[in-house]
Structure formats: structure tokens, C-alpha cells
């Protein structure tokens, strides 16, 4: 399990936000289940998205929807970090 993965952005042709896709190997390294919430971070902003495994995505890439690319203030081929979302309750325990 890794704390964070650093991945290169591929812009998805789908504009609606809230979801991203990575290779299934990334899902395994983050120790999450496909469909879990993750934090995607750029130098400018952090957002929460549901992350899904897709073996058509290269292992060093993340396919981010257009709306989320804009929210993060990034462009295609920029690097972002992806880490497991820790719910507040778990942080307090």
C-alpha cells in the first residue's frame, strides 16, 4: 500500500465531474476498492472523486473528467497526486 500515487492527467471526453479512472494496479497499490472516494490534488486545489479501475488506462495515468480538470486548475499531461480518502470519524479514533 502506498500513501499517494503521482499520476499524469489524461482529460476524459466526458465533461460531468466526480469520477476518475486509473489502471487496476493503482487501485491495488492505494489499497482501495473500485468506486471508493479518493483525494486528487494539484498545486492549486484538492477535490474528492470516485475512483474506478480500468485496465485500458496506462499505469502512470489518471483519466479525469473535464469539469474536474477545470476545478483542479490543471491541463492534460500535468501531474496530480491521488490518495485514499480518510473519513473524519476514522481520523478522530
Domain 4-85, CATH among 1.10.240.10, 1.20.140.10, 2.60.40.1180, 2.40.40.20: 2.40.40.20
pLDDT tens, position by position, 8-47: 999 999 999 999 999 999 999 999 999 999 999 999 999 9
Local structure of 71: helix, strand or coil: helix
pTM score above 0.85: yes
Write out pLDDT tens, residues 64-76.
999 999 999 999 9
Which one-letter DSSP state was computed for residue 17? -
Residues 39 and 85 sit within 8 Å (Cβ to Cβ): yes
pLDDT higher at 15 or 2: 15
What is the pLDDT, as a whole number, of residue 93? 44
Amino acid at each position: 500500500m502506498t500513501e499517494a500515487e503521482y499520476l499524469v492527467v489524461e482529460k476524459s471526453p466526458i465533461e460531468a465531474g466526480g469520477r476518475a479512472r486509473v489502471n487496476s494496479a493503482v487501485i491495488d497499490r492505494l489499497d482501495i476498492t473500485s468506486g471508493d472516494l479518493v483525494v486528487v490534488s494539484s498545486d492549486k486545489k484538492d477535490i474528492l472523486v470516485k475512483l474506478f479501475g480500468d485496465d485500458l488506462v496506462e499505469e502512470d495515468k489518471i483519466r479525469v473528467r473535464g469539469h474536474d480538470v477545470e476545478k483542479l486548475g490543471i491541463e492534460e499531461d500535468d501531474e496530480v497526486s491521488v490518495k485514499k480518502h480518510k473519513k473524519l470519524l476514522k481520523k478522530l479514533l
